[in-house]
């Protein structure tokens, strides 16, 4: 299936519908992005998408500002202080990629009480006053084992590479992977390491645990770690396992090289970094007076063997396979959720 057609099919909510005129003027409104981490290619692509889309919105007078702020230490206390500063700086809305689903609830409630709209995405918060734009991360993890069950009918040993410890997304994807292991017999997770969604960290972590592991049939991942895992295995005399990829350019490049050389097969799955742009437009719609459900769900993006080449061709070097959202897309997402 063509990648464009696939993305549109898997993200049917993106189909463009007639967009009603603005109910109120948001040209004087200021929106801020509070981001807890920027140390991997996904987060960099997320920030790039934010800057690209919101820059045009500011230029076109849709909003007055759309500033992005990233904490230095990925600590909930630091991000809570950042949110409190945004309250003092007079932002009308805060778009939030949270370090914790619960530890920021106090700061989020302070923002809401000050009349500020809070829209969380990717790393969502549980504070009821906030909006949430989520991917079914558990299903993203479970689907990896479902794919492997077709490739390895008798099961096999799995190495799990997790993301950042203590982060909601990491916990959810891991829970989905383990649910898949329970669902499909014959699989066992024989080792687990944290790769922090970064290929260099993942490579070191995998290299460190491999000597203690039995034969590994497949590696289940969270994104940004597949290429690092491949490099760690390549440095040993172990056979190359099936490594689930995470839509990063380096992962897709390595996969294509192996596919061309020896028919290597796998799949790749991740959330689109451009979900930050959906969160921006949802915040703008709320400021515009629109009725928006508190919980919105967007699909994850998957690349398979038959559309690898197209997926790679449409992914920037150093980047991640992506979808960016327009104001009309956001209106359709909201309409679909009503």
Q: What is the pLDDT of residues 194-224, one digit of tens each?
A: 999 999 999 999 999 999 999 999 999 999 9
Give the Cβ contact number of residue 21 at 10 Å.
5
- State the pTM of this model: 0.81
**Mapping DSSP to helix (H, G, I), strand (E, B) and coil, where does residue 59 land?**
helix
**Mapping DSSP to helix (H, G, I), strand (E, B) and coil, where does residue 132 land?**
strand
Which of these ranges, 103-117, 193-207, 249-263, 324-338, has the smallest mean pLDDT? Answer: 324-338
Query: Taking residues 21-33, what's their average pLDDT?
Result: 81
In the block, tokens 């396979």 appear at 321
Nearest to 172 by CA among 144, 141, 194: 141
Give the strands of the sheet with 242-243, arranged side by side.
187-194, 156-162, 218-220, 242-243
Residue with more model confidence, 164 or 14: 164
User: For position 13, what pLDDT does the model report?
Assistant: 39
Q: Which domains does the chain have, with CATH numbers?
A: 3-135+272-299+321-337 (3.40.50.2300), 137-270 (3.40.50.2300)
Please, how many CA atoms are within 13 Å of residue 80, restricted to the half-sphere of its CB?
14
Percentage of the residues of the chain whose pLDDT score is greater than 70 = 93
Distance (Å, whole) CA 139 – CA 322: 19
Rg (CA), the chain: 20
Say what the alpha-carbon torsion angle 99, 105, 110, 113 is, to the nearest 10 degrees.
130
Average pLDDT of the residues of the chain: 92
Confidence of residue 24 (pLDDT cuts 50, 70, 90): low
Query: Taking residues 240-266, what's their average pLDDT?
Result: 97
Residue with more model confidence, 139 or 24: 139
In the block, tokens 């829209």 appear at 119
Give the Cβ contact number of residue 77 at 10 Å.
14
Query: Taking residues 19-47, what's their average pLDDT?
Result: 83
User: For position 20, what pLDDT does the model report?
Assistant: 43
Query: Taking residues 11-34, what's their average pLDDT?
Result: 64
Percentage of the residues of the chain whose pLDDT score is greater than 90 = 81
DSSP code for 22: P
Contact 142/180 with Cβ under 8 angstroms? yes
Query: Taking residues 40-45, what's their average pLDDT?
Result: 90
In the block, tokens 């796998």 appear at 266
């Amino acid at each position: 299936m063509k990648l464009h057609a696939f993305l549109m099919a898997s993200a049917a909510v993106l189909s463009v519908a007639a967009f009603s005129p603005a109910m109120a003027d948001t040209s004087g409104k200021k929106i801020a992005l509070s981001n807890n981490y920027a140390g991997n290619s996904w987060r960099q692509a997320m920030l790039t998408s934010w800057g690209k889309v919101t820059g045009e919105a500011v230029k076109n007078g849709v909003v007055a500002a759309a500033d992005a702020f990233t904490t230095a230490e990925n600590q909930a206390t630091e991000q809570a202080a950042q949110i409190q500063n945004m309250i003092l700086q007079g932002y009308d809305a805060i778009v939030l990629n949270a370090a914790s689903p619960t530890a920021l609830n106090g700061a989020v409630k302070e923002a809401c009480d000050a009349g500020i709209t809070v829209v969380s995405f990717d790393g969502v918060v549980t504070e009821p006053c906030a909006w949430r734009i989520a991917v079914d991360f558990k299903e993203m993890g479970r689907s990896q084992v479902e794919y492997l069950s077709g490739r390895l009918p008798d099961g096999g040993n799995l190495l799990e590479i997790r993301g950042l410890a203590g982060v909601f997304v990491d916990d959810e994807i891991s829970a989905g992977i383990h649910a898949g292991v329970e669902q499909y017999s014959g699989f066992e997770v024989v080792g687990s390491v944290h790769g922090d969604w970064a290929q260099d960290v993942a490579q070191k972590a995998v290299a460190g645990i491999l000597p203690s592991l039995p034969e590994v049939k497949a590696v289940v991942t969270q994104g940004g770690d597949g290429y690092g895992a491949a490099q760690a295995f390549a440095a040993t005399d172990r056979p190359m396992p099936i490594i689930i990829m995470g839509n990063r350019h380096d992962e897709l490049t390595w996969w294509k090289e192996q596919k061309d050389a020896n028919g290597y097969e796998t799949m790749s799955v991740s959330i689109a970094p451009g979900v930050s742009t959906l969160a921006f437009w949802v915040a703008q719609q709320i400021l515009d007076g629109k009725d928006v459900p508190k919980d919105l769900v967007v699909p994850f993006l998957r690349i398979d063997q038959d559309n690898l080449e197209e997926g790679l061709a449409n992914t920037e070097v150093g980047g991640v396979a992506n979808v960016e959202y327009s104001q009309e897309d956001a209106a359709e997402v909201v309409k679909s959720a009503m």
